Amino acid sequence: MSSKKNLSSIAKQYPKKHFVAASAVASFLIAIAILPTSEKVSASRTQLDLALPFDEGIAAPQEPSIQASNTPSEKSVNVNSVNYPLESTPAPQGIQFSKEYTVKNGDTLAVIFKKAGFSSRDVYHVAKVYEDATRLHPGETVSFAYNSDNTFKAFKHQKTQLISNVIEKQNDEYQIKEIVREPTVEFRFAQGTINSSLFLDAKEAGLDQTSIMNFANIFGWDIDFVQDLRPGDTFSLMYEELFLDGESIGTGNIVAAEFVNQGQKFQAIRHVDEHGRANYYTPEGKSMRKAFLRSPIDFARISSHFNLRRKHPVLNKIRAHKGTDYAAGRGTPIRTAGDGKVVFAGWKGGFGRCVIIQHGQGIQTLYAHMSKFNKKTKKGTRVSQGQVIGYVGSSGLASGPHLHYEFRVNGVHKNPVKVKLPEARPIEKKYRKDFLADADKWLAILENNQRSVLVARVD
């Protein structure tokens, strides 16, 4: 994979709007994911001194070496960092953009072009070659270049901090070019101990909300980060930080991570194949993904477990509860647990608004009490794991907003929390040798950083 292709994939994966997650998500996580404890959090965040070339999207470390550059404190150890510049796409020559506008609510392409002094004909031709021009979002910037006679020369749409598209008029033809700016990538190390919640303790360790969510997604098939966490659990990770013009513009990929939950160690290494597809694997090459998500809602609290002798909260009589209830705010997104086909989407008695998905021959999942469906969720449509199919509500026989989730194997109801989930395919044989070498080196880097922080605390 070329540097330019790799850079473009990084830039598209981390648009500007994703660098910082919505504050509502943060408030939600803080509110529901607190484990009471009086212990002080232990966390650290460091930079690395490594010689790492980019190779197929993964930095393959040579001899990991860490040299402390100052006196370590209780919470952090600062060490030297190395930049890894990627080749950028140069801007079209000879274009000087002189007017810039920030898109506001209600702005359309026609309105902006009129403010810039251009005709509806220019709007038509730009929109014809660049369909994203009709989908401008508030906060994005657009700018214009003029010919000497003040006629239209070029239009630039700054989609993210890294990607912009330029539409230039040349000899009555409108040509589009994508410009990808060059970020500087530095690798960071962070670690911490669970004393309250993953969100709060990872934030204390220096991670932003995007990285925290990505970390939870990596281990989310094995760990329920609300039900399974215990004070004293630990986490550590290596991740990318992206810089533009000397300023941090957000975090990139997590390249290696570890979580120790109730004494059991989980480790994950990122791998990008020759087609640019990224996945996480155990150090032995097994996929971190499972064929099914453990929970269809992120960070939700279980309000009622699988129980064949439960007393129904509305009917007030013993009635088997053949699923798990997740309490969450009305409108919380519900994700499909696995790839499959929607076999039912509609009103289903006491279940209210309900979706049933068929996964292969023998497994079905059911999602009930929704407030509304995703508009794409219809009977007969195919869905992918993690796709939003609806939103939490209290339709049907429900005492409050929650999701009722069932997992059926050959028609038999299984406890969704305890059922053994089949694994996804391991890493392909043709990548296995190189992956195992990279995994060993990344794990060595993690361990070296962990030891450095431990020594710093002792000193």
Query: 106-121: per-residue pLDDT in tens?
Result: 888 899 999 889 988 8
User: Cα 380 to the chain's mean position, in Å?
Assistant: 28
Six-digit token pair at 350?
């006491």
CA angle 374–378–383, rounded 5-degree value: 75
Query: 371-420: per-residue pLDDT in tens?
Result: 999 999 999 999 998 899 999 999 998 888 999 999 988 888 888 877 87
- List Cβ<8 Å contacts ≥24 apart for 225-230: 225/33, 225/197, 225/198, 225/299, 226/32, 226/33, 226/299, 226/300, 226/301, 226/302, 227/302, 227/417, 228/261, 228/262, 229/35, 229/194, 229/197, 229/198, 229/261, 230/35, 230/194, 230/261, 230/262
CATH entry, 3-86+183-289+429-458, from 3.10.450.350, 3.30.930.10, 1.10.3720.10, 3.30.2040.10: 3.10.450.350
Rounded-to-integer distance, Cα 361 and Cα 357, Å: 11
In the block, tokens 């796709």 appear at 387
Six-digit token pair at 272?
């990008």
Query: 78-99: per-residue pLDDT in tens?
Result: 222 333 333 334 445 568 888 8
Q: How would DSSP label each residue in 226-240? A: TTT--TT-EEEEEEE
Topology of 301-414 in CATH?
A: Glucose Permease (Domain IIA) (2.70.70)
Confidence of residue 238 (pLDDT cuts 50, 70, 90): very high
Which pLDDT score, from 0 to 100, does residue 420 have? Answer: 77
Q: Kindly report the pTM of this predicted structure.
A: 0.58
User: Percentage of residues in the chain with pLDDT exceeding 90?
Assistant: 38
**Of 190, 185, 163, 181, which is closest to residue 241 (Cα–Cα)?**
185
Question: Could you give the 3-state DSSP secondary structure of residue 72?
Answer: coil
Residue type at 17? K
- Read off φ and ψ for residue 190, nearest 5 degrees: -140, 145
- Read off φ and ψ for residue 311, nearest 5 degrees: -90, 120
Which pLDDT score, from 0 to 100, does residue 31 have? Answer: 37
User: Which residues make up the CATH 2.70.70.10 domain(s) of the chain?
Assistant: 301-414
Which pLDDT score, from 0 to 100, does residue 448 have? Answer: 92
- Of residues 3 and 205, more confidently modeled: 205
Which pLDDT score, from 0 to 100, does residue 415 have? Answer: 85
Residue range 154-167: average pLDDT?
90
**Residue 370 pLDDT more than 90?**
yes
User: Which residues make up the CATH 3.10.450.350 domain(s) of the chain?
Assistant: 3-86+183-289+429-458, 99-180
Residue range 228-245: average pLDDT?
93
Topology of 99-180 in CATH?
A: Nuclear Transport Factor 2; Chain: A, (3.10.450)
Confidence of residue 309 (pLDDT cuts 50, 70, 90): low
